[in-house]
Amino acid sequence: MRRFSAEYLEFTREGMWADGREALADCSLPDRERVLDVGCGTGEFTRVLAEETGPDATVIGIDADTSLLDVAREETSALASYAAGDATRLPLREDAVDLAACQALLVNLPEPARAVRELARVSADLVAAVEPNNADVTVSSTVDREADLEREAREAYLAGVETDVALGDRVESLFVDAGLVDVRTRRYLHEKRTAPPYAEPALESAARKASGAGLDDHREELRNALSAAAYDDLRRRWREMGRDVVAAMREREYERVELVPFEVTVGRVP
Ligand SMILES: C[S@@+](CC[C@H](N)C(=O)[O-])C[C@H]1O[C@@H](n2cnc3c(N)ncnc32)[C@H](O)[C@@H]1O
């Protein structure tokens, strides 16, 4: 199972769904009574679901990584409850909820179709998946080589990763294959903007670029696509770029915008 640190999840989801939630309209969240968020991690999406459902709704987050659930419980204890479980063998009976949802889960699974079938099994009504299209991410930056290097690293990552991290609109066919009906998709564009004054997570992210730690998080996938020498070369250029970012931040001259498209697919159990 691919593992994620709590810091990584909190940083990458920062600001997500804060600028509008129209793309979640087909989930009919105000009408839901029992909502499940599978692969909830630190509860970033669970909190959004809990905020949008009515006061009497029950919201449960499930994840296989119990250390992330500990963080989720600290952040969301009053809004939702959390339990350990595997997305491909959910510890719930059939029809236990009226919305079974996930965010950025299917792209991390070797067999996403199995998880979709489980979401459909435990829901009496709706199933929803919010999945990034990692092949269409764009970055612009005031540090010249940052966008090019990020593209180079992303292409190597996409070539080396073993799951389909750019599922995008193919989630619709997974839903149809699982027997779901009325399947529809809306797009949410997550804009991550870094500009002065810099918040602590942005400063940490720059430091992790300069040390190479951010790239090392994906070393395994990158090394599947790159030779040892090519990885070392990318890492050396990446760290130089990171030092430029840190220097530009000291001068309060650094700005970066990242756009990550997410497809929100919703289907109904017939
Ligand atoms: C990219 S994170 C997304 C977390 C959260 N949904 C969010 O959007 O911030 C993927 C999550 O799926 C969890 N995960 C991966 N494989 C899983 C499995 N087989 N069963 C349950 N959770 C799993 C990971 O532990 C991680 O928390």
Q: Which pLDDT tens digit goes with each residue over 27-63?
A: 999 999 999 999 999 999 999 999 999 989 999 999 9
Kindly state whether residue 206 falls inside one of the protein's structural domains.
no
88 pocket-lining for ligand 1 (C-beta < 6 Å): yes
Distance CA 10, CA 201 (A): 9
Q: Which helix (H) or strand (E) holds 135?
A: none
Buried b (16+ CB within 10 A) or exposed e, 59-98: bbbbbebeebbebbeeebeebbebeebbbbebebeeebbb
Q: What is the mean pLDDT of residues 158-180?
A: 91
Query: Would 171 be classed as within a structural domain?
Result: yes
In this structure, what CATH number is given to the domain that contains residue 23?
A: 3.40.50.150
The answer as to whether 153 is a domain residue is: no
- The residue nearest atom 12 of ligand 1, judged by CA position, is 39
Do 109 and 252 contact (CB within 8 A), yes or no?
no
Report which protein residue has its CA nearest ligand 1's atom 11.
39
Residues 6+ apart with CB under 8 A from 211: 239, 242
**DSSP strands (E only) in 93-216:** 97-103, 123-132, 138-141, 181-194
| Cα 28 to ligand 1 centre (Å) | 23
Least confident of 26-35, 75-84, 96-105, 170-179: 75-84
Average predicted confidence (pLDDT) for the chain? 95
Cβ(119) to ligand 1 under 6 A? no
The pLDDT value given to residue 10: 86
In total, how many domains does the chain have?
1
- What are residue 52's phi and psi, to 5 degrees? -90, -15
The number of beta carbons lying within 10 Å of the beta carbon of residue 142 is 15
How far is the centre of ligand 1, averaged over its atoms, from the C-alpha of 42 (Å)? 9
Nearest residue to 98 via CA among 44, 36, 43 = 36
The verdict on residue 174 lying in a domain is yes
User: Is the CB–ligand 1 distance for residue 65 below 6 Å?
Assistant: yes
- pLDDT above 90: percentage of residues in the chain: 84
User: Which of 73-77, 127-131, 139-143, 224-228 is least confident?
Assistant: 73-77
In a domain, 88, yes or no: yes
- How much is the average pLDDT of 96-110? 97
What is the reported pLDDT for 208? 92
| CB-CB contact of 152 with 237 (8 Å) | no
Mean pLDDT (whole number) for 136-163: 95
Which pLDDT belongs to residue 77? 64
Query: For ligand 1, atom 10, which residue shows the shortest CA distance?
Result: 105
* pTM score of the predicted model: 0.92
Residue 126 lies inside a defined structural domain of this protein: yes
Q: Given the CA of residue 1, which atom of ligand 1 is nearest to it?
A: 16
Taking the centre of ligand 1 as the mean of its atom positions, its distance from the CA of residue 88, in whole angstroms, is 12
Please indicate, yes or no, if residue 243 is contained in any of the structural domains.
no
Q: Is residue 214 one of the residues assigned to a domain?
A: no
Test site for ligand 1: of 13, 62, 105, 262, most ligand atoms within 8 A of the Cβ: 105
Give the start-end residues of each E strand in 71-223. Answer: 81-84, 97-103, 123-132, 138-141, 181-194
233 Cα to the center of ligand 1, angstroms: 31
The answer, yes or no, to whether residue 267 has pLDDT greater than 70, is yes
pLDDT digits (tens, 9 = 90+) for 180-226: 999 999 999 999 999 999 998 899 999 999 999 989 989 999 999 99
User: Looking at ligand 1, which atom is closest to the CA of residue 40?
Assistant: 6
Locus of tokens 């419980």: 73
Interval 172-182 mean pLDDT = 97
Q: What is the pLDDT of residue 87?
A: 98
CA of 240 to the centre of ligand 1 (A): 32
Q: In the block, which residue shows the tokens 């779901």?
A: 180
pLDDT at 67 over 70: yes
Report whether residue 190 contacts ligand 1, using a CB cutoff of 6 Å.
Answer: no
Backbone angles phi, psi at 65, to 5 degrees: -100, 105
Beta-carbon contacts of residue 7 (< 8 Å; ≥ 6 apart): 201, 204
Question: What pLDDT was estimated at residue 164?
Answer: 87
Which residue, judged by its Cα, is nearest atom 4 of ligand 1?
A: 41
Give me the domain span that covers residue 20: 6-134+164-191+261-268
